[in-house]
């Protein structure tokens, strides 16, 4: 497994592949070689989760769960959460400003279940 690894699990029944692929493309464009892999993982039941594994021996970190967060991620917020796990010192420029305009009580990423 190449790390850091990002998994985007999406619902095939809901036809969310294009949304997941768009998020994948945005993450690869933003983080470039700082990410080892961005995988699309088909699922069912309305799932849309983003999990990051920073190192092979590290616990996976759940950075977004549509069910728990109540919506699909806004990209600036998702990028900031991923950055906080894989490259905390990375400045995201305008993305940082947009993420700060989001929920001020944005919880820190939690360990994947």
Which CATH number belongs to the domain containing residue 18 in this structure? 3.40.30.10
Q: How high is the mean pLDDT of the chain?
A: 89
At 77 the pLDDT is 95
Domain count, the chain: 1
Which tens digit of pLDDT belongs to each residue from 22-58? 999 999 999 999 999 999 999 999 999 999 999 999 9
Q: Given a cut of 60, is residue 87 above it in pLDDT?
A: yes
**Cβ neighbour number for residue 41 with a 10 Å cutoff:** 12
Mean pLDDT of the region 65-83: 96
**Cβ neighbour number for residue 30 with a 10 Å cutoff:** 19
Provide the pLDDT confidence category of residue 5 given band limits of 50, 70 and 90: very high
- Domain of 22 in residue numbering reads as 5-111
Is 26 in contact with 74 (CB distance < 8 Å)?
A: no
Torsion angle in degrees (nearest 10) through CA of 85, 91, 97, 100? 30
Name residues whose C-beta falls within 8 Å of residue 83's C-beta, 6 or more positions apart in sequence. 31, 90, 92
Q: Which residue, chain included where needed, has tokens 């990410």? A: 35
| Angle made by CA atoms 103, 109, 110, in degrees to the nearest 5 | 130
């Amino acid at each position: 497994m190449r790390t850091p690894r990002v998994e985007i699990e999406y619902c095939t029944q809901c036809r969310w592949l294009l949304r997941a692929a768009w998020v994948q493309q945005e993450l690869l464009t933003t983080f470039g070689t700082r990410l080892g892999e961005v995988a699309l993982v088909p699922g069912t039941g309305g799932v849309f989760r983003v999990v990051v594994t920073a190192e092979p021996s590290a616990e996976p970190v759940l950075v977004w769960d549509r069910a728990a967060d109540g919506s699909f991620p806004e990209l600036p917020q998702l990028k900031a959460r991923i950055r906080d796990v894989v490259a905390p010192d990375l400045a995201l420029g305008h993305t940082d400003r947009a993420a700060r305009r989001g929920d001020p009580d944005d919880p820190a990423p939690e360990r994947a279940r």
